[in-house]
Amino acid sequence: MRKITSLTGLLSFLITLLTSVILYIVPEGRVAYWADWHMLGLTKTQWGDIHTTVGTLFLVVMFLHIWLNWKPLMAYMKNRAREFVVMTVPMIISLALTLFVIIGTLLGLPPMQQLLDFSAEIKEEATTTYGNPPYGHAETSPLIKFCGFLGLDATKAVETLHAAGYDSTINEQTLIKDIARSRGTSPQQVYDTIRSGQNVDVYASMPAVPPAGTGKLKVADICKTYGLDVEDVLAKLKAAGMDATPESSFKSLADQYGGTPKDVYLIIKGE
């Protein structure tokens, strides 16, 4: 039993460590689903599920390990006179380290804050690379709903996709994520292809409600998502009194403007 417990604990710890690293670098949920993100053949959801189940196994095994090693653990809480003392020097140091990490995280102290910032930078880079969905869970929408939400012509969208070499069975009821998978591309690339065959005002086709997480997005991200001209967007923001660059976040611009990220989004949209 001790051998099985120790080996199971070792394996579950290594897998939990792996999933923790992957979830540390995985893009934000909306971006991961929009990009149909995979690593080692698994999606963000699958990695999260493995992390939960194997992590639970690790906890169960650790409780069993504690039970099997109760006497040695109790010995750690005895002083040199063999008297039972909970707050031994090792226990005090362990408690201090744990509290330091918890409190330091809440107060934004180093190195905890740097660790969190690095993860945020990786996720922001993923948003720039993969694009941001025009609205929440857009990849699960049928083509006709997707086009209707963005003011696009669904019939033209189907024609454009067929002309671009997408599967001829694609129709207005096909889900955006299925269209992407049929070609081995991302939903963002499907969106770009659809847009190329439409003669519409790109600003008018922006949703009335900004996408989730707009405050974290940069001007360049929004421009990529909706096919906007970066210089034109910067000119609009400047006219509204904001000194912006492609790397400016909506939150930072909102602070300049004295409004909210949604206000900045609506200025770009022209409302």
For residue range 106-149, list pLDDT tens digits in order. 999 999 999 999 998 898 888 888 888 998 899 999 999 999 99
pLDDT band (50, 70, 90) for residue 88: confident
How high is the pLDDT of residue 64?
95
The H or E element that residue 43 is part of is strand 42-43
How high is the pLDDT of residue 131?
83
How high is the pLDDT of residue 203?
92
Decide: helix, strand or coil at residue 75. helix
Task: Read off the pLDDT of each residue in 5-14 and give the average, rounded to a whole number.
Answer: 95
How high is the pLDDT of residue 199?
87
For residue range 145-185, list pLDDT tens digits in order. 999 999 899 999 999 999 999 999 999 999 999 999 999 98
Residues 6+ apart with CB under 8 A from 101: 112
pLDDT band (50, 70, 90) for residue 35: confident
Task: Read off the pLDDT of each residue in 72-97 and give the average, rounded to a whole number.
Answer: 81
Q: Name beta bridge partners: 236.
A: none
Model-level pTM? 0.78
- Residue ranges of E strands in 141-219: none
Compare 11 and 90 and report the one with higher pLDDT: 11
Between the CA atoms of 24, 27, 33 and 36, what dihedral angle is there, to the nearest 10 degrees?
-100
How high is the pLDDT of residue 191?
93
